[in-house]
Amino acid sequence: MTKQISPADKLRALLATGDLITMPCCFDALSAKLIEQEGFGLTFMSGFSASASRIGEPDLGLMSYGEVLDQARNITDAVSIPVIGDGDTGYGNAMNVRRTVAGFAKAGCAAVMIEDQLAPKRCGHTKGKEVVGRDEAFDRIKAAVDAREAGADILILARTDARHQHGLSEAIDRAAKFAELGADILFVEAPKTVAEMRELCAALPGPKMANIVEGGETPDLTPDELSDIGYQIAAYPLSLMAAAMKAMVETLQLMKAGKPRTDMLMDWGQLRNRIGFDAYYEESERYATSKRG
């Protein structure tokens, strides 16, 4: 029997290539399926977009651990590509972080992001965010790594938002300590210039992730430019959510005006196929009692 490759091992194999990974971020099972169908090898469950999609509220720490974990489980069940889960601050103290990491591993995530923001956290490109002190930040990552070492087959994506409150040097120092503690991927949120992006990539070991928010604080560079700087993952957390919202609002406005636009809609056959109707019917042919005329 062929041994099944774990989500974490799939991500390790992607990182081992050394190539830049373009990572569109999902917010539910359907958006994750579309990402996989278009040939991308990795996705991330954006906390910003998941909060908007699931509870219709901003990413300001309003979703509970249970809600986030349920959303992650739905996503991992829908795709075969590795998924990175957003573990926020770990939902409490270091022991909560351990539980969070173990929970995301059991839910099928390839990696989990743990950050050093003060709870309740804020989206990285919005106002009001603060970070905890160094000791607490380091304990969070130590606890996450301990959970991995205790048997959770998952990678640790360690994030710092210290650039906003304390400057780039503090952010680099924190990320360097995260790596020393055993984090697998480093994420310094919201550098403001290309020079800052180059400085942090040169200073830090291992794979680094860039977070590209269209209209946000970090320069919106091309994948080739990000690779040249030293990043290995380029995350696009809001692209799909923003595109979907724009299309839905425009469709609703036209519908309200009595001017529906069928050219804006996905073809009915393609819609059914991408959701999975065709695959379902093909598979159900194996079972006589599941057939319907």
Quick one: 56 exposed, middle or buried, by C-beta within 10 A (0-12, 13-18, 19+)? exposed
Assess contact for 40 and 34: CB atoms under 8 A.
no
The pLDDT confidence band at residue 225, using thresholds 50, 70 and 90, is: very high
What the block records as the tokens of 70 is 């349920």
State the Cα angle at 200 between 136 and 188, rounded to 5°: 45
Assess contact for 100 and 66: CB atoms under 8 A.
no
The pLDDT confidence band at residue 220, using thresholds 50, 70 and 90, is: very high
Assess contact for 138 and 94: CB atoms under 8 A.
no
Q: Name the DSSP class of 131.
A: B
From CA 62, how far away is CA 123, in angstroms rounded? 12
Going from the C-alpha of 140 to that of each of 47, 146, 152, 238, the distances in angstroms are 19, 10, 16, 26
pTM of this prediction exceeds 0.75: yes
Looking at the DSSP bridge assignments, the partners of residue 208 are: 186
Please give the average per-residue pLDDT across 28-32, as a whole number: 98
Give percent of the chain above pLDDT 70: 96
The pLDDT confidence band at residue 292, using thresholds 50, 70 and 90, is: low
| Greatest pairwise CA separation for the chain in angstroms | 67
Of the two residues 260 and 23, the one the predictor is more confident about is 23
From CA 231, how far away is CA 225, in angstroms rounded? 9
Give the pLDDT of residue 227: 98
Asked if pLDDT for residue 8 goes beyond 60, the answer is yes
From CA 173, how far away is CA 152, in angstroms rounded? 27
User: Closest Cα partner for 111 from 166, 154, 70?
Assistant: 154
pLDDT tens digits along 250-278:
999 999 999 877 788 999 999 999 999 99
pLDDT tens digits along 97-122:
999 999 999 999 999 999 999 987 76
CB atoms within 10 A of CB 108: 20
Residue 85 has, within 13 A of its CA and on its CB side, a CA count of: 33
Going from the C-alpha of 22 to that of each of 78, 109, 132, 151, the distances in angstroms are 20, 18, 30, 29
Please give the average per-residue pLDDT across 25-46, as a whole number: 98
Going from the C-alpha of 121 to that of each of 48, 124, 157, 263, the distances in angstroms are 11, 9, 16, 40
> Average pLDDT of the chain?
94
SS3 85: strand
What the block records as the tokens of 116 is 């050093």
